[in-house]
Amino acid sequence: MQTKVQKFIKEQNLIPTTNPIICAVSGGVDSVCLLHILHSLNYPLVLAHVNHHKREQSAVEQAAMENLAKEFNIPFELLDFYDNGADNFQNSAHDARYTFFKQLAKKYHTTLIATAHHLNDQAETILMRLITGSNLYGYAGISIIQQEKDYSLIRPLLCVSKEEIYTYAKEHNLLYFEDISNSSDDYLRNRIRHHILPLLEKENINYLEKMQEFSTQTKESFNFIRKQSINYLDKLNNSIEASSFIKLDVALKKDILCLLFERYQLEKSFDIIIKCVQLIEQNKNCIYHLKDSYSFVIEYGRAYIKKIEDSCSYYEELALEDTKLILNQYKFYFSKKIPQNNEKYLKLWYNDLKLPFFIRNKKEGDFINMSYGNKKVARILIDKKIPLSKRDQIPLVFDRDGNLLWIYDLAKSQAVHNQKDKSDIFLVCEEVAYEK
């Protein structure tokens, strides 16, 4: 088995450097064998062990792993993880483990973290994801190499079966521990292991190798599609152009959306992705609300994800001597001199001013009186093709009696037009640099 793993490491270029390898060792047969093989092949190692304190045996396992590190003359690193009562212990423990491994990689100036996943794990993972749902990448199961920003997760045992691992442990008289929870059918993975994999083996004794072939081919297909998705979103700055999107193959459409959701670290279920594909193909302005205060926005042929900020509702009174800054973007004030730069302004007659003015964002039913009659603010924003995400930010200026005088930079009321020939004061709005 050692020769088989050594060949696999070379073929897959799993260990391209001489830097230490952070080896995750639980004390089970898989990880103990992994450590033993890598040590036998003279790779520099760090034994990383996590004590979950869930079983009485945990202390014994920890002591055994410390002794193993001493025997191999390699560093021993420990994470004590205690159940904090969270609803999903498995997820929180998983996150804690991998955070620990990444910290060790930084400490020992390496990028390599090795875990002991093997072919049986691969088969179980693929079947689990087929049952529970995933995308193309997920259906491919466990990656031989998983590249992250600052490190690589490598799986040198993804060429051997559990049976081969047990045989190796027996041949080398290795001390390891069995987790009693592995015998329980309370978990989906265990049910697959105990009841489904034996049936597959009866159909084809080489089913594990076939599962790995499926994983490899699926990963290759995914990587081909993902390169195109990355190129598409990078060119459009993480947005989607409906006119080009609808011409793409459906597999690429789905993956572009999956990648977009991944970049925002959002849930990307099959139903959500299909819904977003349909919305883009309809190409109508809309907002589709997602979880975690995000929305999928489609406006004027462009789709993107936007975080819903805290309410931007505002209301400010403006007296003659005031200066008001709205949304850190619009600065309103009165001036007796006509602006000389690019500021927008209203020409007004001082004697007709009904002060104080007030400035707010739009509300349902707002309208402005024009020369041809009243027109709804919402209709003006649509006609001017103002993006949905911007419509609640446009300042509206009212006089003391509640008459809408100005939809900033879009429309002025008939009353304002009537004053322009005798104007002697200006309501000015400067757009300033937006500071979030």
The pLDDT averaged over each successive group of 10 residues in the chain (436 residues) is 96 93 96 98 97 86 96 96 71 88 96 97 96 89 92 97 97 92 85 95 96 96 96 97 96 96 90 94 89 87 82 84 91 91 88 92 92 92 86 92 94 89 89 60
**2-205: CATH number:** 3.40.50.620
Q: What is the DSSP letter of 193?
A: I
Beta pairing class for 21-24 and 45-51: parallel
Predicted confidence at residue 91, as pLDDT, reads 79
Predicted confidence at residue 433, as pLDDT, reads 64
> Where in the chain are all domains bearing CATH 3.40.50.620?
2-205
Task: Quote the tokens at residue 316.
Answer: 């400010």
Element (H, E) at 274: helix 270-282
CB 423 within 8 A of CB 431: no
Q: How far apart are CA 404 and CA 96, in angstroms?
A: 57
Predicted confidence at residue 435, as pLDDT, reads 42
> Where in the chain are all domains bearing CATH 3.30.465.60?
236-307
Q: Which of 356, 136, 161, 159 is nearest to 258 (CA)?
A: 136
**What architecture does CATH give domain 236-307?**
2-Layer Sandwich (3.30)
Indicate yes or no: pTM above 0.75.
no
